[in-house]
């Protein structure tokens, strides 16, 4: 593709870039800047407060423990997710294990369950009075001590089960794209199947494994919900929950400095991840290479499949079943008999004046507005960055995608610091929630559309101009229809993100503006309402599955989108 | 009659000069091929003519209307230029079917529906795409995509039609066929075409005149035969066809013999000896024989072309390209005598 540098070229109305730049800088950069300044002890509104909050935080043994715990959990989750997801990916991509599609669907389903709901489901199963402990410990006395979900290992278990689908999906596609002739060459050179796997396939996959591992590591560090519901009852703090508890004590200095520490860790890992994405392509991906003969599992075929199925039952089907069953129960604790079932839990969400109804209504409203605003800003930013020559367009794109590296908890703290003082005081109103959601969603809007715009030949637009279409007409007739899949995918991603978002919601909501996240978070207190909340969770999962199916439909490389005549 | 005139055109990308004070006139109803190696600025030239990029200096006038004049601060938007372009990768809109692609320029101009239908139908017949209205670009073969791109450019009956390496994606047979068809349509509609290509055969297949471009300048413009027979620079001689360059300043004995022979073949001996230091000899103008002669060489390589044979003859320290008929065959290593029947004095560059 030729790069256009002609500065005289008419680029359409650039006046729109002004407000967009202002919005992006105001919403993304300003809060993070406030966070940074505040953490240094520089307070614009109360210059008396100065001090080394960092020294305070770093000398606080609790912060150091939380940091250590964060790294331990993230490392553990990454290791387990890679083993589980990688092994499964190899089975599906390279062996003749039966029902591959079924396995892929179940793993995908696991991916769609919000981690927080997964955690609650596991508490229902592994809590002291949980189903598994009752069976293994009390009934069969299979184990000497009841299993304890309320531990760092419990967090690792749930987060790993939540994250392994990511590894699985990344490695399946990498294994499928990997040039199979390389493995064949190794076999011809005399290597056994296992030898070929360990000397050729695995080393070639290493960059991919590293990449997705870093992504899982970063996401685990940023995760709040699971760590809160499992860690907080027994005071097992990680950085996100430590920030949260500082916020609930209204200890802003500690929250700010801990946020900066988390932001730094997360940012470093994310940079490594981005770097690994860029540098990993040392293998020639040869799309024409022949399909390798799948490794025959022989008589292990069925036992292997049953094993995988049992594993997936534990990771997905049982927790999901537990949530679905609870959502139909008249009251949590009742046994699963038909006379105990009801659909009232669902009816109250859609009909009543309950908090569940309100939360649902609020979240959908927020999600709708945030997704729409994100889609519009994302389109404009992507267009500016790929189709114009205005100065600083790449910086604009960078700032807009930056929130990807910022954990929700940190975004919330930054929002509080930015929007708490007059004249910009919107803290305590629904606006602060909306604005912070938009910031959190912005990267997805930009990334989805940017990808399509970059892949789209600018000559298509030139052809329209030469045919007599004005800039606006060209945008409407050519550009917009071709990036619509990206806009839709970005919109849906943003919509779903807001629906299941927890830390921003619980740190920034005000009375009357409760969201699904707030509602879900109240799920950990086992005092009633669990049935209704489970019903919310089920609806949420259905929406997420539907949304992802739609994205899959849009995200598919459309055949007509590749206009390569050769 | 002049249809378009490009004067004193210059364009830079950063510090790199892409178009360097370029002048070019395009006659009404002619096909002008602009040929040059990749990176010589020919695509940029088209983009400036079409208004897709700007220039630092110069002007473009088409059919009496100034489209670009940097000095007078005139730059007509691409959509107002009545220029059509067939792009290298065709740039067909993937979300439009054939009919929508072809009719787009008319629809954008608000042409009345029945008239629009009539023009599109006529044009589709002209490029032989009947019955393909409802197809999408990805459902078409490369040749058909090419025809859609052509039809899309033809519907507005442009003042100037630009081809940007438009045939380079077709195989040799298909290319021949398209060249003939385009030429026919061009004559029927009396279109003025600028055809940019790096392929000299493609250029010769359709063009009335050829402009050879190098480093942002036009080195020579003329009818095809003239440019081939009387290249003015070393670059043109080497780019259009193959040429043996013989220099008079060499100390080598064989080289001096070659030089003297070439000077005689060129005529005007004295003049050349004085002014020029380089002669160009086409391979077909070199004659080789088995009989002993003044200049001797050995056959280093022979490529059988079917209707001709291309030899590389080692003469002294240099290789000489020779093209002969297929009557006399010379085995590798055979000793032959070398003679020349035609040579042209060129400017060294």
Where does the pLDDT of residue A185 fall: very low under 50, low under 70, confident under 90, or very high at 90 and above? Answer: confident
Q: CB-based contact (8 Å) between B137 and chain A? A: yes
Please count the other Cβ atoms lying within 10 Å of the Cβ belonging to residue B147.
25
How far is the C-alpha of A539 from the C-alpha of A189, rounded, in Å?
A: 55
- pLDDT by residue (tens digit) across A513-556? 888 888 888 766 555 567 777 888 888 889 888 888 887 765 54
**Is the pLDDT confidence value at A563 over 50?**
no
CB contact under 8 A, B90 and A562: no
Please give the sequence-ordered ranges of beta strands (E in DSSP) within chain B, or none if there are none.
Answer: 2-13, 16-27, 31-35, 57-62, 65-69, 74-75, 83-86, 160-164, 193-197, 209-214, 217-223, 244-247, 278-281, 286-289, 295-304, 309-315, 318-324, 335-340, 344-345
Where does the pLDDT of residue A232 fall: very low under 50, low under 70, confident under 90, or very high at 90 and above? Answer: confident
Is the pTM higher than 0.90? The answer reads no
Where does the pLDDT of residue B211 fall: very low under 50, low under 70, confident under 90, or very high at 90 and above? Answer: very high
Q: CB-based contact (8 Å) between A423 and chain B? A: no
Find the angle CA(A492)-CA(A496)-CA(A497) to the nearest 5 degrees.
115
pLDDT of residue B189: 92
How far is the C-alpha of B83 from the C-alpha of B161, rounded, in Å?
A: 6
pLDDT of residue A565: 30
Q: CB-based contact (8 Å) between A470 and chain B? A: yes
Tokens of B255: 């080289």
Where does the pLDDT of residue A512 fall: very low under 50, low under 70, confident under 90, or very high at 90 and above? Answer: confident
User: Is residue A15 exposed (0-12), middle (13-18) or buried (19+ Cβ within 10 Å)?
Assistant: exposed
**Is the pLDDT confidence value at A3 over 90?**
no
User: β-pairing, B217-223 with B65-69?
Assistant: unpaired
Where does the pLDDT of residue A202 fall: very low under 50, low under 70, confident under 90, or very high at 90 and above? Answer: confident
- pLDDT by residue (tens digit) across A22-74? 888 899 999 999 888 888 777 655 555 555 666 666 677 888 899 999 999 99
Range from A109-123, A169-183, A490-504 that averages highest in pLDDT: A490-504
Residues of B in contact with A470 (CB under 8 A): 77, 79
How far is the C-alpha of B205 from the C-alpha of B200, rounded, in Å?
A: 8
CB contact under 8 A, A466 and B83: yes
Distances (CA, A) of A474 to A11, A458, A518, B79, B105: 11, 11, 44, 10, 11
Residues 6+ apart with CB under 8 A from B77: A10, A465, A470, B51
Tokens of A549: 């199916």
Å between B143 CA and nearest CA of chain A: 9
How far is the C-alpha of B186 from the C-alpha of B178, rounded, in Å?
A: 12
CB contact under 8 A, B89 and A563: yes
Q: CB-based contact (8 Å) between B145 and chain A? A: yes
CB contact under 8 A, B145 and A559: no
User: Is residue B38 exposed (0-12), middle (13-18) or buried (19+ Cβ within 10 Å)?
Assistant: exposed
How far is the C-alpha of A374 from the C-alpha of A361, rounded, in Å?
A: 20
Question: Of the ranges A296-305, A464-473, B201-210, B298-307, which one carries the lowest mean pLDDT score?
Answer: A296-305
Instruction: Give B289's strand partners.
Output: B337
Question: Of the ranges A9-23, A83-97, B99-113, which one carries the lowest mean pLDDT score?
Answer: A9-23
| Upstream peptide bond of A423 is cis (omega within 30 degrees of 0) | yes
Residues of B in contact with A562 (CB under 8 A): 94, 138
pLDDT of residue B85: 92
Nearest to A488 by CA among A399, A540, A553, A432: A553
Walk me through the domains of chain A, giving residue ranges and CATH numbers.
Answer: 55-280 (1.10.3720.10)
**Is the pLDDT confidence value at A355 over 80?**
no
8 A C-beta contact, residue B312 and residue B322: yes
Question: Of the ranges A282-286, A322-326, A337-341, B5-9, which one carries the lowest mean pLDDT score?
Answer: A282-286
Chosen from B104, B116, B158, B178 to mutate, greatest number of chain A CBs within 10 A: B104
The residue-averaged pLDDT of B301-305 equals 90
CB contact under 8 A, B79 and A566: no
pLDDT of residue A429: 86
ipTM over 0.90: no
DSSP string, A250-304: T-HHHHHHHHHHHHHHHHHHHHHHHHHHHH-TTS---TTSPPPPPBP-GGGHHHH
pLDDT of residue A546: 87
Q: Which three-class secondary structure string do you get for A35-102?
A: HHHHHHCCCCCCCCCCCCHHHHHHHCHHHHHHHHHHHHHHHHHHHHHHHHHHHHHHHHHHECCCCHHH
| Arithmetic mean of pLDDT over chain B | 90
User: β-pairing, B309-315 with B318-324?
Assistant: antiparallel
Length of chain B as a residue count? 349
8 A C-beta contact, residue A197 and residue A178: no
Question: Of the ranges A210-219, A354-363, B56-65, B295-304, which one carries the lowest mean pLDDT score?
Answer: A354-363
pLDDT of residue A116: 86
**Is the pLDDT confidence value at A383 over 60?**
yes
How far is the C-alpha of A212 from the C-alpha of B164, rounded, in Å?
A: 43
- pLDDT by residue (tens digit) across B170-195? 888 888 889 999 999 999 999 999 99
Q: Is B70 helix (H, G, I), strand (E, B) or coil?
A: coil
- pLDDT by residue (tens digit) across B40-52? 889 999 999 999 8
Q: CB-based contact (8 Å) between A143 and chain B? A: no
């Amino acid at each position: 593709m030729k790069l256009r540098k002609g500065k005289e070229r008419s680029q359409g109305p650039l006046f729109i870039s002004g407000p967009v730049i202002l919005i992006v800088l105001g919403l993304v950069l300003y809060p993070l800047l406030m966070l940074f300044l505040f953490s240094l002890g520089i307070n614009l509104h109360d210059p008396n407060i100065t001090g080394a909050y960092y020294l305070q935080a770093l000398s606080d043994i609790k912060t150091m423990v939380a940091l250590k715990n964060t790294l331990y959990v993230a490392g553990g989750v990454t290791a387990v997710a890679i083993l589980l997801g990688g092994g499964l990916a190899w089975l599906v991509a390279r062996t003749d294990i039966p029902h591959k599609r079924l396995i892929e669907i179940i793993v995908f389903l696991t991916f769609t369950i919000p981690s927080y709901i997964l955690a609650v489901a596991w508490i229902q199963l592994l809590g002291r009075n949980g189903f598994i402990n009752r069976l293994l410990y009390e009934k069969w006395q299979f184990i000497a001590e009841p299993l304890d979900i309320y531990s760092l290992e419990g967090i690792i278990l749930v987060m790993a089960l939540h994250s392994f689908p990511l590894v699985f999906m990344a490695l399946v596609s990498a294994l499928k794209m990997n040039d199979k002739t390389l493995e064949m060459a190794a076999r011809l050179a005399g290597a056994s199947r296992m030898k070929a796997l360990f000397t050729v396939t695995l080393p070639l996959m290493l960059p991919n494994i590293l990449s997705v591992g870093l992504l899982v590591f970063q996401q685990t560090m940023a995760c709040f919900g699971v760590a809160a519901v499992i860690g907080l009852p027994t005071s097992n703090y990680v950085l996100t929950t430590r920030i949260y508890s500082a916020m609930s004590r209204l200890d802003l200095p500690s929250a700010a400095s801990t946020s900066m520490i988390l932001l730094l860790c997360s940012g470093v890992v994310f940079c490594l991840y981005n770097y690994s994405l860029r540098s990993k392509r040392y293998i020639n991906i040869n799309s024409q290479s022949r399909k390798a003969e799948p490794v025959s599992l022989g008589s292990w075929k069925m036992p292997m499949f049953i094993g995988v199925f049992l594993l997936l039952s534990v990771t997905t089907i049982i927790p999901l079943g537990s949530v679905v069953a609870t959502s139909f129960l008249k009251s949590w604790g009742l046994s699963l008999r038909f006379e105990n079932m009801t659909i009232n839990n669902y009816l109250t969400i859609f009909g009543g004046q309950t908090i569940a109804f309100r939360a649902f209504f609020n979240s959908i409203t927020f999600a709708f507005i945030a997704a729409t605003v994100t889609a519009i800003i994302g389109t404009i930013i992507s267009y500016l960055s790929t189709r114009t020559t205005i100065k600083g367009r790449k910086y604009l794109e960078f700032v807009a995608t930056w929130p990807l590296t910022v954990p929700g908890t940190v975004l919330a703290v930054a929002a509080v610091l930015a929007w708490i003082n007059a004249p910009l005081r919107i803290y305590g109103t629904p606006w602060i929630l909306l604005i912070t959601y938009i910031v959190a969603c912005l990267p997805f809007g930009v990334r989805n559309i940017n990808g399509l715009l970059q892949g789209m030949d600018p000559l298509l637009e030139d052809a329209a101009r030469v045919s007599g279409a004005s800039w606006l007409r060209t945008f409407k007739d050519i550009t917009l229809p071709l990036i619509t899949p990206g806009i839709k995918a970005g919109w849906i991603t943003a919509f779903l993100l807001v629906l299941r978002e927890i830390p921003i919601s619980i740190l920034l909501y005000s009375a009357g503006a409760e969201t699904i996240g707030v509602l879900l978070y109240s799920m950990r207190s086992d005092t009633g309402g669990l049935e209704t909340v489970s019903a919310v969770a089920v609806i949420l999962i259905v929406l997420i599955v539907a949304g992802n199916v739609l994205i899959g439909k849009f995200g598919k490389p459309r055949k007509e989108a590749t206009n390569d005549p050769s | 009659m002049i249809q378009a005139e490009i004067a004193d055109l210059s364009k830079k990308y950063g510090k790199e000069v892409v178009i360097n004070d370029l002048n070019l006139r395009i006659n009404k109803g002619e096909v002008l091929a602009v040929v040059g190696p990749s990176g010589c600025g020919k695509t940029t030239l088209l983009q400036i003519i079409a208004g897709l990029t700007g220039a630092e200096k110069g002007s473009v006038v088409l059919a009496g209307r100034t489209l670009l004049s940097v000095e007078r601060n005139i730059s007509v938007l691409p959509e107002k230029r009545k220029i059509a372009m067939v792009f290298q990768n065709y740039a067909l809109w993937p979300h439009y079917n054939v009919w929508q692609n072809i009719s787009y320029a008319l629809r954008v101009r608000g042409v009345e529906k029945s008239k629009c239908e009539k023009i599109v139908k006529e044009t589709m017949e002209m490029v032989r795409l009947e019955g393909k209205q409802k197809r999408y670009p990805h459902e078409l073969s490369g040749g058909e995509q090419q025809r859609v791109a052509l039809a899309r450019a033809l519907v507005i009956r442009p003042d100037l039609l630009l081809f940007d390496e438009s045939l380079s994606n077709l195989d040799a047979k298909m290319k021949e066929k398209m060249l003939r068809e385009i030429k026919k349509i061009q004559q029927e509609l009396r279109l003025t075409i600028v055809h940019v290509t790096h392929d000299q055969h493609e250029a010769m297949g359709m063009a009335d005149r050829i402009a050879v471009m190098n480093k942002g300048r036009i080195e020579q413009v003329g009818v095809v035969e003239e440019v081939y027979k009387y290249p003015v620079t070393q670059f043109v001689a080497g780019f259009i066809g193959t040429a043996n360059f013989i220099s008079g300043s060499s100390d080598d004995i064989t080289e001096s013999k070659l030089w003297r022979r070439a000077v005689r073949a060129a005529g005007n001996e004295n003049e050349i000896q004085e002014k020029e230091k380089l002669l160009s000899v086409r391979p077909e103008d070199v004659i080789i024989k088995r009989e002993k002669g003044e200049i001797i060489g050995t056959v280093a390589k022979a490529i059988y072309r079917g209707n001709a044979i291309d030899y590389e003859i080692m003469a002294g320290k240099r290789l000489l390209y020779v093209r002969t008929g297929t009557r006399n065959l010379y085995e590798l290593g055979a000793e032959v005598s070398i003679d020349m029947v035609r040579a042209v004095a060129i400017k060294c560059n």
